[in-house]
């Protein structure tokens, strides 16, 4: 048995191709199935089965299309109400895939109908756990319905404890979530691989023998999650159409000018430093690049379904179109150019200053009483924040914009990335901003007054 991992770090997820050298099973494929198909070609195997562990909340599955194009059986819990053909499975089912045996294990918790797949080849076992048992933690349990969270958390606790009794300690664990996905919860472990035995030793769902304590701790630790999640389940139950990953034809100057004039969302993909120095008036900054959370934050912050155009280099635009398709934003309009200000001649450009913690400290010491806007999450702010800072999490900035004072705002986050997005949105709305492009841990070292809501 060989397992090929297809990672999607932009969303914090992994898909898997598991094969015997001849035929293959694909677990939880992302929507851009060409990556899975390429992996199968490279391995010289034929995809005969596609399996979903659950109806996903954080991305649009490629399972429907992959099964159709491959002529594969599409495995999914028969209790899930979906609008497409699939091979319904239930707890205890065993499905042969070449020389491999795939056993279905019910694992409710992340969703009501979640299942795991245990793949065996002789004494070798691999556990594909989806959003159930993760590295060091479990999937979050509040995405289905707030009224179901307690019930699902208890189900999660018991189902993962049952799962580990179904396999050996040497079985290798392959979760879908837990690599930065907001579908994970609790103290996830930053490791690249683990066995069931490792989880018995380290996973809080397996080491905490008090169910009530586990439930209370997990629920208390749940933080906000992206707004676009509300649309993923519906798309996945319906079955998404085939996706077109090539960008559409670039907007011409007049079309782009019209969108900016009408106040539509035009997203600049360039580095936030370059954007701050010079950008088209009315555009917002969502820096694209390795290690950024472009997809998550764009889908979270901008109103779902609003007209959207992305502006950047050819490579940036192509990558952004692929990433956005994964969360159901298909074929946004694009404008290709390394210098967006040249795309619309005569359209005004803007800039705003960037600063570090030392510049902010100088403002405070000069008694200029700078207004600091902290756009980090509630949990980050509660742990530690600048004394006197106004707190508006980035994901709620648009809805709370009217409450943001019209004075110069020194905008910061944890690293500068979210603050760059916030600064651009605030400037678009007419605010005077300074982008504090600095790492949060350095604020106290710079001499700024840091306080906590957790003290005492």
Q: Residue 340's pLDDT is what?
A: 82
97 and 182 fall within a common domain: yes
Pairing mode of beta strands 13-19, 2-8: antiparallel
Closest residue by Cα to residue 72 from 32, 101, 45: 45
Q: Residue 346's pLDDT is what?
A: 86
Domain boundary among 307, 339, 371: 339
| pLDDT tens digits along 220-264 | 999 999 999 999 999 999 999 889 999 999 999 999 999 999 999
* pTM for the full predicted model: 0.94
Q: How far apart are alpha carbons 329 and 307 in whole angstroms?
A: 10
Q: Is 268 helix (H, G, I), strand (E, B) or coil?
A: strand
Q: How far apart are alpha carbons 248 and 228 in whole angstroms?
A: 23
Q: How far apart are alpha carbons 59 and 280 in whole angstroms?
A: 31
Closest residue by Cα to residue 108 from 75, 132, 134: 132
199 and 325 fall within a common domain: no
314 and 405 fall within a common domain: no
Q: Residue 367's pLDDT is what?
A: 81
CA 104, 110, 115: angle at the middle one, nearest 5?
5
In a domain, 6, yes or no: yes
Q: How far apart are alpha carbons 349 and 11 in whole angstroms?
A: 32
SS (H, E, C) 35-47: HHHHHHHHHCCEE
Packing angle between helix 294-301 and helix 417-428, nearest 10 degrees? 30
How sure is the predictor about 342, in pLDDT bands with cuts at 50, 70 and 90?
A: confident
56 and 111 fall within a common domain: yes
Q: How far apart are alpha carbons 275 and 267 in whole angstroms?
A: 11
In a domain, 246, yes or no: no
Are 198 and 127 a contacting pair, CB within 8 Å? no
Q: Residue 284's pLDDT is what?
A: 98
Q: How far apart are alpha carbons 358 and 247 in whole angstroms?
A: 42
How sure is the predictor about 338, in pLDDT bands with cuts at 50, 70 and 90?
A: confident
Give 422-427 contacts, CB < 8 A, sequence gap 24+: 422/373, 422/375, 422/394, 422/397, 423/276, 423/285, 423/352, 424/268, 424/275, 424/279, 424/283, 424/284, 424/285, 425/284, 425/301, 425/397, 425/398, 426/373, 426/397, 426/401, 427/350, 427/352
- Rounded to whole angstroms, what are the CA distances from 378 to 202, 432, 454? 27, 24, 12
Provide the mean pLDDT of the chain: 95
pLDDT exceeds 70 at position 456: no
Q: Residue 187's pLDDT is what?
A: 56
DSSP 8-state secondary structure symbol assigned to residue 341: G
Q: Which region among 103-112, 268-277, 364-373, 410-419 has the lowest average model confidence (pLDDT)?
A: 364-373
437 and 409 fall within a common domain: yes
| pLDDT tens digits along 308-322 | 999 999 999 999 999
Percent of the chain at pLDDT > 70 equals 98
How sure is the predictor about 104, in pLDDT bands with cuts at 50, 70 and 90?
A: very high
In a domain, 244, yes or no: no
Interior/surface letters 414-450, b for 16+ CB within 10 angstroms, e for the rest: bbbbbbbbbbbbbbbeebebbbbbbebeebeeeebeb
In a domain, 345, yes or no: no
Domain boundary among 339, 370, 404: 339
Q: How far apart are alpha carbons 161 and 341 in whole angstroms?
A: 57
Q: What's the CATH code of the domain at 230?
A: 3.60.15.10
**Residue carrying structure tokens 């008694």:** 367
Interior/surface letters 295-305, b for 16+ CB within 10 angstroms, e for the rest: bbbbbbbbeee
227 and 270 fall within a common domain: no
172 and 208 fall within a common domain: yes
Domain boundary among 214, 238, 262: 238
Q: What's the CATH code of the domain at 312?
A: 3.40.250.10
pLDDT exceeds 70 at position 186: no
Q: How far apart are alpha carbons 41 and 213 in whole angstroms?
A: 48
How sure is the predictor about 192, in pLDDT bands with cuts at 50, 70 and 90?
A: confident
Q: How far apart are alpha carbons 103 and 128 in whole angstroms?
A: 10
151 and 223 fall within a common domain: yes
Q: Which region among 197-211, 392-406, 442-456 has the lowest average model confidence (pLDDT)?
A: 442-456
Q: Which region among 87-91, 175-179, 308-312, 336-340 has the lowest average model confidence (pLDDT)?
A: 336-340
pLDDT exceeds 80 at position 188: no
8 and 78 fall within a common domain: yes
DSSP 8-state secondary structure symbol assigned to residue 397: T
Range of the domain at 179: 2-238
Count: domains in the chain? 3
Q: Residue 397's pLDDT is what?
A: 98
263 and 132 fall within a common domain: no
Closest residue by Cα to residue 131 from 188, 209, 206: 188
Cα pseudo-dihedral 100, 102, 103, 109, rounded to 10: 140
How sure is the predictor about 304, in pLDDT bands with cuts at 50, 70 and 90?
A: very high
Q: How far apart are alpha carbons 9 and 224 in whole angstroms?
A: 20
pLDDT exceeds 90 at position 154: yes
pLDDT exceeds 80 at position 190: no
201 and 297 fall within a common domain: no
184 and 104 fall within a common domain: yes
């Amino acid at each position: 048995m060989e397992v090929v991992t297809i990672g999607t770090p932009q969303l914090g997820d992994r898909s898997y191709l598991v094969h015997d050298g001849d035929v293959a099973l694909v677990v939880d494929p992302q929507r851009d199935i060409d990556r899975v198909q390429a992996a199968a070609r490279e391995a010289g195997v034929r995809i005969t089965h596609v399996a979903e562990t659950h109806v996903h909340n954080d991305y649009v599955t490629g399972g429907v299309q992959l099964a159709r194009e491959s002529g594969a059986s599409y495995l999914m819990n028969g209790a899930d109400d979906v609008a497409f053909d699939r091979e319904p499975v239930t707890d205890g089912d065993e499905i042969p895939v070449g020389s491999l045996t795939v056993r279905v294990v019910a694992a409710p918790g992340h969703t009501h109908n979640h299942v795991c797949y245990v793949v065996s080849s002789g004494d070798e076992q691999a556990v594909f756990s989806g959003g159930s048992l993760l590295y060091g933690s479990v999937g979050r349990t509040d995405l289905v319905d707030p009224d179901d969270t307690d019930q699902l958390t208890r189900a999660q606790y018991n189902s993962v404890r049952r799962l580990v009794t179904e396999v050996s300690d040497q079985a290798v664990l392959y979760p879908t979530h837990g690599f930065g996905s907001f579908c994970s919860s609790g103290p996830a472990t930053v490791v690249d691989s683990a066995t069931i035995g490792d989880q018995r030793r380290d996973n809080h769902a397996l080491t905490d023998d008090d169910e009530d304590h586990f439930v209370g701790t997990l629920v208390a630790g749940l933080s906000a999650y992206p707004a676009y999640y509300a649309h993923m389940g519906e798309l996945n139950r319906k079955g998404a159409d085939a996706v077109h990953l090539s960008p559409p034809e670039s907007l011409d100057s007049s079309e782009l000018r019209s969108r900016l004039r009408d106040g539509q969302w035009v997203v600049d993909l360039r580095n936030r430093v370059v954007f701050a120095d010079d950008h088209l008036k009315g555009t917002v900054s969502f820096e694209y690049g390795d290690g950024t959370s472009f997809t998550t934050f764009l889908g979270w912050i901008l109103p779902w379904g609003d007209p959207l155009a992305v502006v950047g280099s050819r490579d940036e635009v192509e990558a952004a179109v692929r990433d956005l398709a994964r969360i159901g934003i298909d074929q946004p309009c694009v404008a290709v150019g390394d210098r967006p200000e040249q795309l619309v001649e005569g359209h005004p450009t803007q800039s705003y200053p960037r600063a570090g913690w030392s510049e902010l400290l100088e403002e405070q010491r000069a008694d200029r009483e700078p207004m600091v806007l902290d756009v980090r999450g509630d949990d980050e702010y509660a742990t530690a924040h600048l004394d006197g800072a106004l707190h508006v999490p980035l994901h709620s900035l648009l809805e709370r914009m009217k409450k943001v004072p019209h004075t110069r705002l020194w905008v910061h986050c944890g690293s500068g990335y979210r603050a760059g997005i916030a600064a651009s949105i605030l400037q678009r709305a007419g605010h005077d901003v300074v982008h504090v492009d600095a790492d949060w841990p350095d604020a106290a070292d710079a001499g700024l007054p840091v306080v906590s809501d957790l003290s005492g």
